[in-house]
Amino acid sequence: MVQVSEQSASENSSSENCSNDRVSLPCVHCGLATDCAADQDRQYVFCCNGCRGAYELIGGLGLEDFYGLRDQALGSSGVRSSAVSTGQKRFDGFDSDAFLGPSAPKLVDDGPDSNGVMVTELAVQGLHCAACAWLIENAAQQTSGWSTARVRMNDHTIRIAFDPTVTPLSRIASLLDRLGYSLSPISANRDEPFRRENRRLLIQIALAGFFAANAMWIAIALYSGGRAGVDPQYRIFFEWFGTLLGVAAVLGPGRTFLRGAAASMRTRTPHMDLPVALGLSVGTVSGVVALLSGKGAIYFDSLAVLVFFLLIGRWIQFRQQHRAASAIDLLLRITPQHADRICDTSDNAGDDDSDNASDDLGDTNSETETVMVSQLSKDETVRVAAGESIPVDGFVVRGQSMIDRALLTGESRPEPVAVGDVVSAGTVNLRGSLDIRVDRTGRESRIGRVMQSVEEAMADKVPIAQLADRIGGIFVVIVTVLSLLTFGIWYADGWATAASHATSLLIVACPCALALATPLAIAVSLGRAARRKILIRDGAAIQRLATPGTLWLDKTGTLTEGRIRVELVTGDLEIVRHAANVERGCHHPISDAILRFADSRNLVLSSDDPETSVTDGGVIGVSEGHRVIVGNQAVMSSHDVHIDSTVESAISESLAAGTSPVIVAVDGIASAVMRVSDPIKPDAKTALSQIRGTGWKIGILSGDHGDVVADVAAKLGIAPENALGGLTPEDKLAIVRRSQEENPGHGTTVMIGDGANDAAALAAADVGVAVRGGAEVSLQAAPVFIASGETQSIVELIQGARRTVKLIHVAMAVSLVYNVVAVSLAMAGKISPLLAAIFMPISSISVLSLTLAWPLFSPKNDKKVSPNSVTK
């Protein structure tokens, strides 16, 4: 139900829900001033109960489109301007956090260098193609106080960084409105901007169709009368009336092209609407000149039909973009769109005490209703059944279960949760039913913030996209010059012929597909990768991964299963018990393996909290009064531990078997050796063979013993000189940097490893790929995170990157070939303006269709990919 603010018609009556210190907004029905501003819960305001009643009556009759049609007629993208009655600009609401709601600007957290820069994300209407994004981004560069603008064509949103003390957001909104683009706060329904734009385009097409159809009837009458004879006065009437229809088509539905061209000239930024507008202008001027002079053909019917076909082409292109956007909707694929909200918790919603809340919620049979997650509010309660994904961040108020946090934390083992425990969206409830008090939803949740970093990568300009933008700008200038040249060449055949051929060239040329190819391919690629649990934060990583170079892999968890186990113990089990005592406070795979082994042998551990310290290669602690050291040989040597021949023999046997020896020393004497193994992943050898077949040099960087690393390398076919063990994080960093220095500008250096332990090497590499750890930590250290942890996913990542870059090259080639052929035919006089309007969207539609059909990260290609199947 619409929430409203009430205001009596009398002067001394005002709504109790509105305060006078807020930004004034107009009545949604009549446009008169109110003393209220919209916020997250109050999206529509009224000046009186009469307007409120009229609004609800119109909505009740199913006539909601009345307001959209009214605003279209008024030339406004929203409610009528409050400037009429209040003297304020209608963009002043953009300076109010209450109006913007979730889109309210936030301070850039860049430390002392932030300089008060704010960032906001808004919906933008009026986008047609990549050239529009380029125009807006260039406008930002030319506006003081407006730092950057990142336009995402996939969901028609814009990310704006600005200094409100220099240029307020209202001024930016006003500027973009003059350029033909309307801003609005992001709706909870992300598809709403597409529906509004689709409705607007269809209305324009309908109007253009009306003008075109009537102009054609008049033209038929004139052409028929030319043979059968028609009274001169009727001929003049038909010619004038037909010309008016043609001009109306250009100035009415065709205004979108004229506004785009005007914005292009105002910002001195070439835009694809510029040649189209020039073509329409030439056709209009030549028709009017012919009408006034009485010489030459008027072609008013062609003008109206031309606008009609141009708008149809733009609508088809828009629909294709919408289809592409549906393939890129990341957040809704990872978290549920719906939730079961408990209906009977309103009395307790404000209770922050989880224990009290659980007492007041009623039994587990409480009535629930299914709602969109976006409709949930803080402190509401949702119920999550076993096997379902948790839709919100919050805390448990009833029930206990086990949840899988692997996507966020990287922890593969389920964790228990009970009343009072915090849970996160995107995790999976494995067992019992849980009632969860809502804290954050959508983009404010932990997984939402992770996915935002991936979505932001879609708006980033990779190097090849920047090149395409420059080519697109030059292309518009070249087309304009060629049209003048064409006019000059054909001028000897008459003004009408020259104008017709020049108009054909201006219309048939389409630089949009050239600029669209790269961002669309990157965006679709990132979206499909996310579906395959490959999260990519930096679109430039796609381009870099397409160039073979050196691929360094950590061993544990990357090439091996990461499920370390103790195979054999040489020594007394009492020594192992002491080792388990000091390992209890550590979070390391080897620690977990030792604790599991102790549990399997029913070893009773001390109830006292262990005193431990972690060092490179081991753990030092106190167990029941004994000083215990657990670790590798280097740790033992650094602490002067005595190692006798029996222990040395056990160490040698462990290394010969391809297992890692973990030594346990008690009170300075090595007393036991545990053989620790980590099985190689079944698909690792095949995956590395496929990667090697595409031209990559592969190596291992591991902290494990050199002999163990050499054994793994031999089993996987990796050259011994590229299998390096016993490395510290600093050693791995140095090797990655040396690899970059040895091949500057020739090949890519990639590091694949743990998002936490290998953070330095991952950050230093040309592309860092994290395959262990949670998404939050990993995407801070590396631009790519493989949530599945599978080795085959590395193959899919590299092949997907190569396919993406190949797609970009093919799409650019299609666009260039189309434009060269089309421009040549237009200059030769082989294409009429009407045919040009039909051909114009073909290149963009081809690029869009090609991108959607291209096998970027397609799972069906995973199983049957040979090393030679990927084109270098």
Question: What does the pLDDT read at residue 325?
Answer: 55
The predicted-structure confidence for 141-156, as pLDDT tens digits, reads as follows: 778 888 888 887 666 7
The predicted-structure confidence for 664-698, as pLDDT tens digits, reads as follows: 999 989 989 998 888 888 888 999 999 999 899 99
The predicted-structure confidence for 93-108, as pLDDT tens digits, reads as follows: 777 776 666 667 777 6
In words, the CATH class of domain 535-560+680-796 is alpha beta
Separation CA 23–CA 37 (nearest Å): 5
Q: How many CA atoms does the CB half-sphere of 86 hold within 13 Å? A: 22
Strands 697-701 vs 550-553: parallel, antiparallel or unpaired: parallel
3-class DSSP state for residue 731? helix
Question: What does the pLDDT read at residue 301?
Answer: 72
Separation CA 4–CA 42 (nearest Å): 6
Question: What does the pLDDT read at residue 718?
Answer: 92
| Helix (H) and strand (E) counts in the chain | 31, 27
Task: Please name the residues in contact with 469: beta carbons below 8 A apart, sequence gap of 6 or more.
Answer: 134, 461, 515
565-677 has which fold? Calcium-transporting ATPase, cytoplasmic domain N (3.40.1110)
Contact present, 380 and 394 (Cβ < 8 Å): no
Structure tokens at 572: 């007394």
Residues of the chain predicted below pLDDT 50: 1-24, 37-43, 72-89, 110-113, 327-328, 330-332, 345-362, 860-872
Distance of CA 575 to the CA centre of its chain: 53
Residue 621 sits at φ, ψ, to 5 deg, of -160, -175
Residue 312 vs residues 206, 275, 380, 838: alpha-carbon distances, Å:
10, 18, 46, 9
Separation CA 824–CA 509 (nearest Å): 10
Strand partners, 550: 697, 749
In words, the CATH class of domain 97-189 is alpha beta
Structure tokens at 191: 């598809």
Residue 644 vs residues 573, 577, 660, 753: alpha-carbon distances, Å:
18, 21, 18, 36
Contact present, 491 and 498 (Cβ < 8 Å): yes
3-class DSSP state for residue 79? coil
DSSP string covering 117-170: -EEEEEEEE---SHHHHHHHHHHHHTSTTEEEEEEETTTTEEEEEE-TTTS-HH
What is the H or E stretch that residue 730 is in?
A: helix 729-742
The domain segmentation of the chain, as residue ranges, is 1-90, 97-189, 336-444, 535-560+680-796, 565-677
In words, the CATH class of domain 336-444 is mainly beta
Separation CA 661–CA 677 (nearest Å): 9
Contact present, 857 and 528 (Cβ < 8 Å): yes
Return the HEC string of 571-631: CCHHHHHHHHHHHCCCCCHHHHHHHHHHHHCCCCCCCCCCEEEEECCEEEEEECCEEEEEE
Separation CA 14–CA 20 (nearest Å): 10
